[in-house]
Structure 1
Amino acid sequence: QADVLARATTWRDRLGADTPRVAIATDIEQAATLELLAGVMLAGGSVVAERPAPTTARWQRWAAERVTTVVGDPDVARGAPDAVTVLDLDGSTSPRQV
């Protein structure tokens, strides 16, 4: 449990303490996702769930949800505003796909 808390604290530090709105763009079954979720909670943030909606562009939905950070597949950053932070599940910064 101490290891999970330590990794969650690392996530909190990467996300920042300004109440991040995090969209998770990866398999929720991955063990690292638990650490990410705990880090979001420690940062006082919230998670925006992705749901398929083929008639609505992803960023049109996420903009309404005020997403500040995307974690997971960097391809989901396509069309994201420059202010949105994109991180890999390991916490490193992902290059944006154009």
Structure 2
Amino acid sequence: MRFTEHLHLEGIRPSIGSVGDAYDNALMETINGLYKAEFIRTKVLHDGPWRTASDVEYATASWVEWSNNRRLHSSLGMISPTEFEAGHYVDTKPMAD
């Protein structure tokens, strides 16, 4: 309650949905599942045991870089999200007069 009141006093709208609204959590749950399956439970980007939080933080940055820039996504036509986004902006660029 205090958090909600504080947001209201500061003029901040929360970015959460209504109770039982699955849409807010769907993307995060998907990313968490991919993160665990592709990274935490494998030795793809880290070959030893996790010894410190810094190990996980550094390797997580590597996973994010790989996932955004080098992982090929079948739903994007077997290109990376970075390539897909670049193509989107090229396709939506206003025509010069």
TM range (shorter): under 0.3
Higher radius of gyration, 1 or 2: 2
Q: TM (normalized to structure 2)?
A: 0.26
